[in-house]
Amino acid sequence: MSTPIHVPTMAQMIASGEVPEVLFWVGCSGSFDDRAKRITKAIVKILAKANVKFAVLGAEESCSGDPAKRAGNEFLFQMQAAQNIMVLNGYDVKKIVTGCPHCFNTIKNEYPELGGNYNVIHHTQFINDLIKDGKLVIADGKSFKGKKITFHDPCYLGRANDIYEAPREALMKLDAELVEMKRCKAKGLCCGAGGAQMFKEAEPGNKEVNVERTEDALEAKADIIATGCPFCNTMMTDGVKNFNKEEEVEVKDIAELIAEAADLI
């Protein structure tokens, strides 16, 4: 926590003649939303602690286009993609770590056809690899002894890209107990935010999706709901509030939990 962390932009790095190992793609939530910014900071602290040479795009980053595409606006999506690909290719970026499964999915699966070919990794995978390779040691931080943690699979990491194990492996490094909700992995229930729902009122119904999902987590008797997506984080936090359980149940991103355990925040 002591030495200040330097977060260079790509432009600064290149100007000083250096090439980063990875580009950290922050995403819009992670850049602007106060709650999600805390996740961003946790990721950066982990990268710094593990001596990963990274950079961000800063003001040159722009929305990946996912919400536009999922709402049906292919024009806007492809404009965003073209602009981002121009920037990324301009810096000859090879490897990208994203803090958001929506950006992850879009850049990994939809950019290549438009000229953007990168090795794209979600932050939970990257963190898990850092721990496995011994580059990040979890010690001296907060203990989770006796706590039950449940992982809420983000649709765009899980079903969309079949990544279920890396986030769980990372959580198992904590001294907590990992419990599963009755619907998990491929059968995990959406938090309700995807497909641009995050930006609109829900259609008429008899319940909010995030409330339905929070019930699953409460039923699993979890003390901590671990997330891997800033949208899920918002939805689950609201869900917990809906049941007035914010005193008992925490909603935290995997990056935050790992950073706490490694005494970084």
- In the region spanning residues 173 to 192, those forming contacts with another protein, defined by CB under 8 A, are 186-187, 189-190, 192
CB-nearer residue toward another protein: 209 or 240: 209
Among 13, 44, 103, 107, contact with another protein (rule: CB under 8 A): 44
Among 21, 51, 53, 74, contact with another protein (rule: CB under 8 A): 74
Nearest to 215 by CA among 237, 193, 240: 240
194 binds another protein (CB under 8 A): yes
Return phi, psi of residue 167, to 5°: -60, -35
| Unique residue bearing structure tokens 């990721």 | 43
Token code pair at residue 257: 């939990």
Taking residues 202 to 241 in sequence order and writing x for each that binds another protein by CB under 8 A, - otherwise, the string is xxxxxxxx-xxx----------------------------
Token code pair at residue 79: 């404009």
DSSP, residue by residue, 168-198: HHHHHTSSSEEE--SS-GGGPPP-S-TTTGG
d(CA 231, CA 64): 15
CB-nearer residue toward another protein: 174 or 216: 216
CB-nearer residue toward another protein: 173 or 192: 192
Among 12, 73, 117, 242, contact with another protein (rule: CB under 8 A): 73
Cα–Cα distances in angstroms (integers) from residue 234 to residues 37, 98, 186, 192, 193, in the given order: 12, 18, 21, 10, 9
Number of residues that bind another protein (CB under 8 A): 75
Q: 83 exposed, middle or buried (CB, 10 Å; 0-12, 13-18, 19+)? A: middle
CB-nearer residue toward another protein: 59 or 145: 59
Q: Which of residues 86-145 bind another protein (CB under 8 A)?
A: 86, 105, 108-110, 113-114
Q: How far is the CB of 138 from another protein (least distance, A)?
A: 21
Among 159, 164, 179, 245, contact with another protein (rule: CB under 8 A): 159
